[in-house]
Structure 1
Amino acid sequence: MSHVVLVPTARPTFMTDAARERADAARALLEELGAEVVGPHDLVMTADDVEGAARGLGLDADLVVNVCASFSDATPALRLYAGLGRPVLLWSFREPGPVGDRLWLNSLCGANLFGHALVRAGAEVRWLHGDPGEPAVREALRKALAGQLPPRAELPREDPANRRERAGAAEVRRLLAGLRGARVGAVGDAPAGFTPSEYDPQLLDTLFGITVDRIDVEDAFDRVRAVGDEDRDRELDAACTAQPSLRKLDQEQTGRHAAVTSALRTWSTEGRHAALAVRCWPEFPTQLGVCPCSSLSRLADAGTPTACERDVLGAVTMLLLEALGSGTNYLVDTVDLDAPRNVVRLWHCGSAATSLAADPDSATQAVHCNRKIGVAGNFPLRTGPVVMARLTEDPDPANPAGLRLLLAAGESLPEPNRFQGNTAAVRLETPADDFVQGLVTGGFPHHTVVAWTDVRPQLRTAADLLSIPVVEW
């Protein structure tokens, strides 16, 4: 009989009843397949829960499974598995909620974040996606219990004899030179367990000549509180003219939204920031009583790229794409996989520029999908050809640049807004399940940048000039 340690991780801001139901079904399936399953029976959501799970994580297990019952930051992954010395199987579930509702679980994104943190820490992960009742999931677990874990992704490498299209080196060198001296405004620290939001300032300066201007969240709040009534009302009037649906929301919350927008705009102007990366939670909703998503959208519509969750490298990726001609772009999570259609769904909770909406004239503003307070966008993203890109640290110590560049492409398809916030259904040019497996087991961030202009030739040349390896699906 196989001995399995199963740990079901989750976060209380998601649908814990649905998460618990699927975690219980996962345990039952493993037992039905003949395994002796140990580990926490309830969802692991607190620091005490994690410590309890760590006490039961013996090295004699035949298989270690982390059920990503809902999204969680990577703190449990690092505590439980960074020093395990063996692969951990990350199991993510499909999204159960109806079209247009919030993400109930965000399980796939949680597995992606766990994978990034663990690979970055030198650990190895494998990935399984699907619900316990699916035949393919049953078969994959049967093989895993027999010692055949799902494979790690083979990251694509360019064939030197068949190089993909490049842009002219002189022109790209000129465009890269335009980034030197750029400043990114960063509000606060990286959220706990969000390893993609950590960055090396020296690396950014060396490669791109970009520096980071940081303030604490409380300093940002002081700036918001100092916004005068006249400035707040002027911004609110302008926002309501551009986005009339704001008038239907709680006036106190939209007033705070206007003050946040005004404060961030003033700080960004004073600091000559080319982009912003903002720690958008938990303090904004819990202490200030507002979500800054629509404020970030307003700034993006005015030409300043904005990244949530204080993702500085994400903001730098946005700046790089814009410098190379992408136009306005958006930082997204990969949250859903429809392998038969070769589709991934890209999403974030409502900070997209309204110019990126499928129909900008009906780009609705609403309450935040998780926090249920204002203000966040709620509209599907533009259709048409897209490029996905991401600069991230390279776990290969032999890489002198220290960064690698992820690239993929596809087509954003017309469909109703699948998840509350901003969603795009992208049919990839490469097998979608291979791409997501690469994200998780290859240790790539849960954040990528999506753009609607194909700047892959320019990005490849930029990577050549900077000696940054490209991983392109």
Structure 2
Amino acid sequence: MKNLPKVKIGIVAVSRDCFPESLSVNRRKALVEAYKANYDVADIYECPVCIVESEIHMVQALEDIKQAGCNALCVYLGNFGPEIAETLLAKHFDGPVMFVAAAEETQRDLVGGRGDAYCGMLNASYNLKLRNVKAYIPEYPVGTAAECAGMIHDFVPIARAIIGLKSLKIISFGPRPLNFLACNAPIQQLYNLGVEIEENSELDLFEAFNKHAGDERIPAKVKEMEKELGEGNKKPEILEKLAQYELTLLDWVEAHKGYREYVAIAGKCWPAFQTQFGFVPCYVNSRLTGMGIPVSCEVDIYGCLSEFIGTAVSDDAVTLLDINNSVPDDMYEESIKGKFDYTHKDTFMGFHCGNTCSRKLAFCSMKNQMIMARSLPVEVTNGTLEGDIIPGDITFYRLQSTADNKLRAYIAQGEVLPVASHSFGSIGVFAIPEMGRFYRHVLIEKNFPHHGAVAFGHYGKALYEVFKYIGVPVEDLNFNQPKGMMYPTENPFA
């Protein structure tokens, strides 16, 4: 994917000076070899300068991994570890940090070969808290070389999201549409996360679009669209305008991202967009999202932030959907009951007008936006991409600022069922275990908007760690609780 950082994790081994340094040296070598044997070697860099035992060693290691181009750090406790130097290492490193520790190898060497990193991890976590230093610590952070290599590999998507946020600019166009307070939220938390935002008038965008009329790149862009749509190219007359709009957005990104490396867009799409631009932007939004530049509908700023995080974690296109409508009784009875292990209340339909990348649709075609066409001429509502979303695992999630400026999030894993939607737009039949309770006691109770981001796969583990790392309080990090695990607001007698 474009528009994402490449993660390079510096592995720095640490050693308590009263323990054999050779333990950390040999265990670090074994860890690196295990990583190289199973994962992409470009992900890591082995710091060979020293084993960190002191503050001076810490400074030397920091300089080495900086020169090596590392943007993430793994502090590896090969033995008990020096609690001051190792936590200063994390404090002074400018990027995401993780801590892992070496397990003991064999009962035949528990005298001179015992490292006590199991104990050292406790001291490390205590000292990190004293210094108010953030670090990712895996669920069980003590392991063999192969196990620790797996933990570092799990850290890659987490680090990619955190690095990306620190150099992200969100570009928005216009205020939320009238009667659309649902996705309105304070932007202070963006700055707290290190995210920049550039808010523009939709009139600025309209001016830029008009200046792109006759752009010499338009014919080539039209051919790209024709190839992507294939037989689904049902509105060929609108492609030239859509190509002009796509070039407008891409040029705006290049001209306005400033010193930031990564960009996401919160776009306007109604009520005046159609009549002035002469089309709807859904298909172009889907194409940019497929390139790794997430575009949210309806100026949903936290929706586009959520999409960017999911893109970084999954290294794949995501989408933004309305948690939209219930599954009809006859559809459930005919296509779901007895075939899938879900109750009717576990199911719902996720929908948006046509913003989902064509790679994530089982079939697609260019059409007009049916809802808007109820009150507008059809010809100004062309430009939406319709089709059923591909069946398979998904993660439904969202990061949101509350009205009183607090971060809150939810994550729910489930799947898109191989059930025909019999409807319009970019749409799918979704199933999430205990969705009915989650809908009532998280989405409604905690005032989440109807837009949710969708990653194509089960990425709850990484997303949960990202949200924790960036400061979402655990009590505000919601998930679809299993049967028997009650929500605080759930009626025990219901």
TM-score range, shorter chain: 0.5 to 0.7
Q: Deviations over 1:304-343 (max 9, x none)?
A: 1110101010010111122223521111101122362621
2:478 is aligned with 1:471: yes
Q: Deviations over 1:26-79 (max 9, x none)?
A: xxxxxxxxxxxxxxxxxxxxxxxxxxxxxxxxxxxxxxxxxxxxxxxxxxxxxx
* Alignment map for 1:155-234 (pairs within 5 Å): 172-173=158-159, 175-207=161-193, 209-229=194-214, 230-234=216-220
Q: Which residue of 2 aligns with 1:259?
A: 244
Opposite residue 370 of structure 1, the aligned amino acid is I
Contact 2:302 2:400 in 1 (8 A): yes
Q: Deviations over 1:242-301 (max 9, x none)?
A: 2134653261x3322221122112112333452111011112112222101111112122
Ranges in structure 1 where 5+ consecutive residues have no aligned partner: 1-162
Contact 1:337 1:433 in 2 (8 A): no
Opposite residue 314 of structure 2, the aligned amino acid is G
Q: Which residue of 1 aligns with 2:118?
A: none
Counterpart-to-counterpart distance in 2, 1:262 and 1:191: 24
Query: Secondary structure at 1:322's aligned position in 2?
Result: helix
2:296 is aligned with 1:310: no
Contact 1:334 1:345 in 2 (8 A): yes
Contact 2:366 2:386 in 1 (8 A): yes
2:290 is aligned with 1:301: yes
Change (3 A) 1:248 1:444: closer
Query: Secondary structure at 1:243's aligned position in 2?
Result: helix
Q: Which residue of 2 aligns with 1:248?
A: 234
Counterpart-to-counterpart distance in 2, 1:422 and 1:438: 25
Counterpart-to-counterpart distance in 1, 2:180 and 2:468: 29
Opposite residue 190 of structure 1, the aligned amino acid is R
Q: Deviations over 1:137-162 (max 9, x none)?
A: xxxxxxxxxxxxxxxxxxxxxxxxxx
* Alignment map for 1:269-418 (pairs within 5 Å): 269-272=254-257, 274-325=263-314, 327-338=316-327, 340=344, 342-358=346-362, 362-371=363-372, 372=378, 373-394=381-402, 402-418=406-422
Q: Tell me how many residue pairs correspond in the alignment.
A: 302
By how many angstroms is 1:381 displaced? 0.6
Change (3 A) 1:433 1:424: farther
Return the TM-score normalized by structure 1.
Answer: 0.59
Counterpart-to-counterpart distance in 1, 2:208 and 2:305: 24
Query: Secondary structure at 1:426's aligned position in 2?
Result: strand
Contact 1:190 1:197 in 2 (8 A): yes
Query: Secondary structure at 2:385's aligned position in 1?
Result: strand
Contact 2:389 2:426 in 1 (8 A): yes
Contact 2:189 2:401 in 1 (8 A): no
Counterpart-to-counterpart distance in 1, 2:179 and 2:232: 33
Opposite residue 422 of structure 2, the aligned amino acid is R
Contact 1:347 1:419 in 2 (8 A): no
By how many angstroms is 1:174 displaced? 6.1
Change (3 A) 1:415 1:228: same
Change (3 A) 1:236 1:180: same
Q: Which residue of 1 aligns with 2:458?
A: 454
Counterpart-to-counterpart distance in 1, 2:360 and 2:155: 31
Counterpart-to-counterpart distance in 2, 1:246 and 1:343: 29
The RMSD of aligned alpha carbons is: 2.5
Query: Secondary structure at 1:375's aligned position in 2?
Result: strand
Opposite residue 406 of structure 2, the aligned amino acid is G
By how many angstroms is 1:463 displaced? 2.4
Counterpart-to-counterpart distance in 2, 1:236 and 1:170: 40
Counterpart-to-counterpart distance in 2, 1:466 and 1:212: 18
By how many angstroms is 1:437 displaced? 5.7
Counterpart-to-counterpart distance in 1, 2:437 and 2:370: 27
Contact 2:438 2:479 in 1 (8 A): no
Contact 1:245 1:365 in 2 (8 A): no
Contact 2:302 2:401 in 1 (8 A): no
Name which structure has the greater RCO, CA cutoff 8 Å, separation 6+: 1
By how many angstroms is 1:232 displaced? 2.5
Query: Secondary structure at 1:331's aligned position in 2?
Result: strand
Opposite residue 479 of structure 2, the aligned amino acid is E
Ranges in structure 2 where 5+ consecutive residues have no aligned partner: 1-137, 142-150, 328-342, 373-377, 481-494
Query: Secondary structure at 1:370's aligned position in 2?
Result: helix
Contact 1:389 1:407 in 2 (8 A): yes
Query: Secondary structure at 2:326's aligned position in 1?
Result: strand
Bigger Cα Rg: 2
Counterpart-to-counterpart distance in 2, 1:174 and 1:346: 27
Counterpart-to-counterpart distance in 2, 1:165 and 1:225: 56
Opposite residue 290 of structure 2, the aligned amino acid is D
Return the TM-score normalized by structure 2.
Answer: 0.57
Contact 1:343 1:427 in 2 (8 A): yes
Opposite residue 202 of structure 2, the aligned amino acid is V
Q: Which residue of 2 aligns with 1:268?
A: 253
Counterpart-to-counterpart distance in 1, 2:160 and 2:354: 34
Query: Secondary structure at 1:256's aligned position in 2?
Result: helix
